[in-house]
Structure formats: C-alpha cells, structure tokens
Structure 1
Amino acid sequence: MTGTAGSSTTGARPKEIEAAWLLTLAAVVGQAVVWVLGAFVVDPTGLDDMTSVSGADAAARQLALSGGVLAVVLAGWLAVAVKMRAGRGWARVVLGFAGALCLVAAATDFSMSGTGPAAWPLLACLPDLVTAAAVVPMFLPAARRHFQARPRRA
C-alpha cells in the first residue's frame, strides 16, 4: 500500500491519512450523538437521573456544563486531527494515545454497564472503537512516509 501516487513529492495526502481523517470525523460525531442519546433519549436518561437526585435546575446546569465541556474537547480533538491531516507527527502521536485510551474506556465501559437497553452499551462504545480504529491507518507505511516528509513546525 503506497497511498496516492507521488504523495511525498506532490503534496497529496496518502489514502491512509484520509481514512484516518474520516474515521476521526465519524468518531467525533459519534461521541456527540452518544452524549445526546444518553442525556435525553435512552432510558434511564441522564437528565432523568440528575433531576431525581438534584432537581430540575441543577440537572439543567449540570447538562449544560457537560455539553460545554464535551464541545470544547471535541473542538480540540478536531484541531489536533486537522494538524495530523496536515502531516504533523506530534498530532499523530496525540491521536494514537487518545485511540489507546478510548480502547481502554470501551473495554471498561462494557464490563460496567448494567442498565438501559441491551444494545445501548455497544452503541455507546462505538465511537471509542472508531477512535481506536482511526489510529491504525495513521501508522501504516505510506502514512509514516507522509509524516516524515513534512517540515517540523506547529
């Protein structure tokens, strides 16, 4: 597998980098969807749980904070992914580390879930698995050459 023709001389990205980019986009969207489903749709919803414990106002504040933090994290994740797509090696390392952490999170979430619909634990860990899968093409030979051919700058 060599990526697109002349990837290191013409500046075109190897197909492996584009695959990692698309998988990363899918993982980011998946994380947002899982948060919305967990907070508002899948019984028992996060909103229902927080409302029963803390009241409606506190639950709304907590959900707003949680959504805000998630938005910041996802924006940062996308910013690093843009740098990876541009050929920055440090971004590939950061995303690789994130993929490994997501794989661990998926494994631990699976073993701890005991409420909600039977398919929910699988759906909820799907973005973590996609994140881990996005790491693989970043470290294939054509992708490695792409990162090595790029100048070292931020």
Structure 2
Amino acid sequence: MIGAAVDRTGRPREVAGAFRLSLLAIAVNWVVWVLGAFVVRPTGFDEMRQEVGRQDALVQLALSAGALLVISGVWLFCLLRMRAGRNWARIVLAGLAALSVLFVLNSLSMNGFDRLTGTWLIHDVLLSDLPSDLLLAAAAALLFLPSSNAYFAAARGV
C-alpha cells in the first residue's frame, strides 16, 4: 500500500469510504421504504388497505419490513467482513451491487425513459432502488482500486 492514504485503523481510505457509502445505501433503503409505505401519496399502505383490508395490509408491511431487515443484516455482515479484509465479502458485495444495477437498468428500460415528469421522478426514481444502487455501485468501484486490492491481498497473506 505504498503511497496509499490510510485511515487510523490501517485500512485504505477507499475501503473506509466504500463501507460508509454502503451504510448510507442501507439507510437510504429504509428511508425509501418508509416514504413509500407511509408518506408519499398514494402510500403503499393505503393502496394495500384498499385491496386487502387493514389487517392484511399490516401483515404485508410487517413481512416487507422483516425482509428488508434480514437483507440489511446480511449486507451489514458482509460489510463488516469486507472492512476486516475478507476478499470473499468484497466479491459478494461487488456482485450484489452489479446485480442491483442491472435490475434497475432493466426496470428503467421496461418502464421507459421518456416519462420525465415530476410524478415519475418521485415515484419511479427517488422512491426506487436507484439511489441506493448508485451508492452501492460507487462503493463497489472503490473496493477494486489499487490501494484496496493491496489491502485485501495483504489481509489474505499474498
């Protein structure tokens, strides 16, 4: 890691930055979930309540929150392993970030790029996975810079 900027823990700043960007992506996912479920009209809860009733809508929201909690927990586990220098975690995180970006691009191409109205921007972009996926893509890119590569190589003893 000659010439690489490191933080006080000995990790390259790129690895620390990727960790922080990924934490921000997890937080953004939760904010988007709350906004979509309860705040931005028409809310997901209102739509579900009209379709299946209040009780089933609450069950669906609880299941959705539980799934997001599990996904966030697994992501956080991989992040902590990545920060500790585990190369497998870096590869898993990069692969998942790439998959997420591909899903977003597929979704955007299916929904059309030509709907550039304010409502489209709020519902289909800001309340989608796009903001967190962009953060994850940036984090993944940081994990494969030369100083990051040297950090992971040194951690596995190569």
Shorter-normalised TM-score: what interval?
A: 0.7 to 0.9
Partner of 1:4: 5
Matches within 5 A, 1:5-84: 12-84=10-82
Letter in 1 for 2:17: A
> Which segments of 5 or more consecutive residues in structure 2 lack a partner in the other structure?
none
> Which segments of 5 or more consecutive residues in structure 1 lack a partner in the other structure?
none
Relative to structure 1, the CA distance from residue 108 to residue 45 in structure 2 (aligned partners, 3 Å threshold; closer, same or farther) is farther
Partner of 1:122: 125
Query: For 1:27, what is the secondary structure of its paired residue?
Result: helix
TM-score normalised by length of structure 1? 0.87
Report if the CA contact (8 A) 1:137-1:143 is conserved.
yes
**Deviations 1:24-62 (CA, angstroms, capped at 9, x unpaired):** 011000111111111111122110111111100000000
The list of structure 1 runs, each at least 4 consecutive aligned residues, that deviate by more than 2 angstroms after superposition, is 1-5, 108-119
Percentage of identical aligned residues: 40
Partner of 2:156: 151
Letter in 2 for 1:71: L
Separation in 2, partners of 1:108, 1:38: 21
Query: For 1:119, what is the secondary structure of its paired residue?
Result: helix
Give the total of aligned pairs. Answer: 149
Separation in 2, partners of 1:11, 1:29: 24
TM-score normalised by length of structure 2? 0.85
Shift of 1:72: 1.0
RMSD value, Cα: 2.4
